[in-house]
Amino acid sequence: MADDRLLMRALRGETLQVPPVWMMRQAGRYLPEYRATRAQAGDFLSLCYTPELAAEVTLQPIRRYGFDASILFADILLVPQALGADLWFVTGEGPRLSTVTGAADFAALKPAEAIHETLSPIYETVRILRRELPAEVPLIGFAGAPWTVATYMIAGRGTPDQGPAHRLKDTDPETFGHLIDLLTEATTGYLLAQVAAGAEVVKLFDSWAGSLKGADFDRFALEPAKKIIAALKAAHPDLPVITFPREAGPRYDGFARATGADCVALDTAVDAAWAAEVLQPQSCVQGNLDPQLLVEGGQRLIDETRRIVGAFSGGPHVFNLGHGITPQADPANVDIMLEAIRG
């Protein structure tokens, strides 16, 4: 029997009267219950690697809002840590990693198949969630795409323009290519393990895809996604996959078809009318409310939410934000958004 949960129906290409809705980073610092659980964990990485607490923060927004999907609480940089990179978080500044800037640094990394010992707590979180989530709420697993993860591994932190990664790509293409290949293999294994543990949908986040241009976009954003999705589909033909080549602009056109994805998530800059005309005939689309509106609230939040729902009403659509909800968002504004979608 076909899965009749709203998210699964939309990802199969059905046009629904009311779209399913979830939010990127829906488990996060805007919620007081999340902040309390993170304080209990002591630090961010301890929260990620303590399955009971990671499951708890994943469940919190489901209890509060009744979203149509849940997404595993973890971090895209756990994969490089599992490959042997040092990873730590600086309060108020974000992640820091030991860097890969040449062949010697790459040679010190572990092989892709070695990641699972470090990441086994993540798989346990997935198993807990499958037991505890309401039956009507699918669980989304996820990973960072190879290019985006590589940008952090090369720079040792987030950067405005991903300059260090571009420099390594141009000056040492052999090392850079090896790193992308390793991340492609490790990401595939990580997602397959999440599915084996109980994830029902997976999403591939390529947050910095937009800084790749021309042939580089094809080689380092599109091709790795295609390889990962092909491997996932070979093992699980009916597994829905969402991709997010953020800020890809016109390169969104054809991305789902070229990679084999079932849905493409749209950033806030994508015009909904264009996406409805060009992208929706190719696949389900997801998005793309500006997260700032969940800080601002008011009538503009209601109007923009309704505009997006209306723009995508003629095809398969999963309502979401164009990027993750911010810590400054007002939890009450999420209720307003949901009422505008469902009311």
- Which residues are known to be catalytic? 25, 29, 38, 75, 152
Q: What angle do CA 246, 247, 253 make, to 5 degrees?
A: 90
- In the chain, the amino acid numbered 140 is I
Instruction: Say whether 159 sits in a helix, a strand or coil.
Output: coil
> Which ranges of 66-162 would DSSP assign to H, the alpha helix?
78-82, 103-107, 115-132, 146-155
Paired tokens of 45: 């990485």
Q: Is 220 left (phi over 0), alpha (psi -120 to 50) or beta?
A: alpha
> CB pairs under 8 A, 24+ apart, for 45-52?
45/75, 45/87, 45/88, 45/89, 47/73, 48/73, 48/74, 48/75, 48/78, 48/121, 48/122, 49/121, 49/122, 50/121, 51/121, 51/122, 51/124, 51/125, 51/128, 52/128
CA pair distance 196, 209, nearest whole angstrom:
28
Q: How far is CA 199 from the centre of its chain?
A: 13
* CA nearest neighbour of 182 among 115, 125, 230, 117: 115
CA pair distance 61, 73, nearest whole angstrom:
11
Q: Are strands 139-144 and 201-206 parallel, antiparallel or unpaired?
A: parallel
- In the chain, the amino acid numbered 294 is L
Residues 6+ apart with CB under 8 A from 155: 99, 162, 163, 164, 165
